[in-house]
């Protein structure tokens, strides 16, 4: 099921381009709306603003990021011109009349229908109310946790770490010593910011969690070397506000709605396969198997 959803997303551009080519070969371009504005002609065949809108939506992330506004439209229009040239050559070569093309067209038609339905489900599912409900459920189910803010000094040997610990426990500025000695290039002055215990390697996370704010640890060994840790503070972990994670929540709502649809369709369908599914693959389709 997840593979099906992944295919519908990641092959969207290639499938629709091929489907557009097939449709042009079979039905021509007579379907343009009467209100559409003609942007270009290729050997007399019109390319309209409706075509451009569809191309911009289809090409999406494949358009170079630095292109904005009019430049994006120019890029998409150039694509449509090239596509029409290829279409006309394919027509001249009668590629639309081959059995292979008919099979490919049938596959792409089914794929486009699938994407149309999944897109409809996505649009209907991602309402403000549904997103808010999913967010509230996730926030309610979050287990209480603690975040820690710490600095550290990373050194290669225990003796070096003991020497550094002696200096900072003796009153030297921790940031100054970390800047001078630490082998961790990813933390400025040894500052690790706020983190949950399980985001760190176990030895480090456990040692940091045992400290009180202001305390400095004895040297702690991990896979990266020897650490001297200073705990700056700790606080209850807060659930991020909705606006900060709205995109992720909306994506979850859409994927759940699409997966629910596919599950229901499996449960009400009679599916016969000549090749048995791989172990575990058919677990979510037992309802369909029972109906057979």
Contact call for residues 151 and 230 (beta carbons, < 8 A): yes
Backbone angles phi, psi at 44, to 5 degrees: 90, -10
The whole-number pLDDT of residue 24 equals 40
Q: What is the pLDDT of residues 9-61, one digit of tens each?
A: 344 444 444 444 444 433 344 444 557 899 999 999 999 999 999 999 989 88
Same domain, 198 and 252: no
Note the pLDDT of residue 158: 97
| 99, 136: one domain | no
Q: Enumerate residue ranges in the chain where pLDDT < 50.
A: 1-32, 284-292
The residue range of the domain holding 38 is: 2-112
**Domain match, 28 and 155 both:** no
Does 275 reside within a domain?
no
In a domain, 130, yes or no: yes
In a domain, 213, yes or no: yes
How many beta carbons lie within 10 A of that of residue 47, not counting itself?
Answer: 21
- 196: its two tokens: 């949950």
What is the rounded distance in angstroms from the CA atom of residue 210 to the CA atom of residue 51?
63
Burial of 211 (0-12, 13-18, 19+ CB in 10 A): middle
The rounded radius of gyration (Å) of the Cα atoms in the chain is: 29
| One domain for residues 56 and 179 | no
Specify if 38 maps to a domain. Answer: yes
pLDDT of residue 278: 74
Domain assignment present for 120: no
d(Cα 80, Cα 45) in Å, to the nearest integer? Answer: 11
Average pLDDT, the chain: 87
Q: Give the count of domains, the chain.
A: 3
pLDDT digit string, tens, across residues 124-151: 999 999 999 999 999 999 888 999 999 9
Residues 15, 46 within the same domain: yes
Residue 251 shares a structural domain with residue 292 = yes
pLDDT at 34: 56
Beta strands per DSSP E along 83-168: 146-155
Can you tell me the distance from the alpha carbon of 152 to that of 226, in angstroms, rounded to the nearest whole number? 10
> By the 8 A CB rule, do 39 and 47 touch?
yes
| 90/163 same-domain check | no
The whole-angstrom separation of Cα 108 and Cα 94 is: 19
In a domain, 101, yes or no: yes
Residues 6+ apart with CB under 8 A from 68: none
């Amino acid at each position: 099921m997840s593979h099906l959803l992944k295919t519908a997303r990641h092959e969207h551009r290639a499938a629709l381009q091929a489907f557009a080519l097939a449709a042009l070969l079979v039905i021509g371009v007579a379907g343009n709306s009467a209100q559409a504005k003609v942007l270009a002609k290729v050997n007399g065949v019109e390319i309209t603003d409706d075509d451009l809108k569809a191309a911009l939506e289809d090409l999406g992330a494949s358009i170079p990021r630095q292109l904005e506004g009019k430049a994006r439209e120019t890029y998409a229009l150039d694509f449509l011109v090239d596509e029409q040239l290829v279409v006309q050559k394919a027509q001249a070569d009668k590629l639309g009349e081959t059995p292979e093309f008919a099979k490919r067209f049938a596959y792409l038609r089914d794929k486009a229908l699938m994407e149309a339905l999944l897109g409809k489900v996505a649009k209907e599912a991602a309402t403000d109310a549904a997103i808010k409900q999913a967010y509230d459920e996730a926030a309610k189910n979050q287990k209480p946790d603690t975040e820690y803010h710490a600095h550290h000094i990373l050194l290669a040997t225990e003796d070096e770490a003991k020497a550094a610990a002696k200096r900072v426990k003796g009153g030297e500025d921790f940031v100054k010593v970390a800047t001078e000695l630490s082998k961790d290039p990813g933390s400025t002055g040894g500052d690790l910011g706020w983190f949950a215990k399980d985001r760190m390697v176990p030895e480090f996370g456990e040692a940091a969690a045992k400290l009180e704010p202001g305390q400095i640890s004895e040297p702690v060994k991990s896979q990266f070397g020897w650490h001297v840790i200073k705990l700056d503070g700790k606080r209850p972990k807060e659930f991020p506000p909705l606006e900060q994670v709205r995109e992720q929540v909306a994506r979850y709502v859409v994927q759940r709605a699409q997966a629910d649809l596919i599950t229901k369709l499996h449960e009400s369908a009679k599916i016969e396969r000549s090749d048995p599914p791989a172990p575990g693959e058919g677990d979510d389709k037992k309802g369909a198997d029972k109906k057979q």
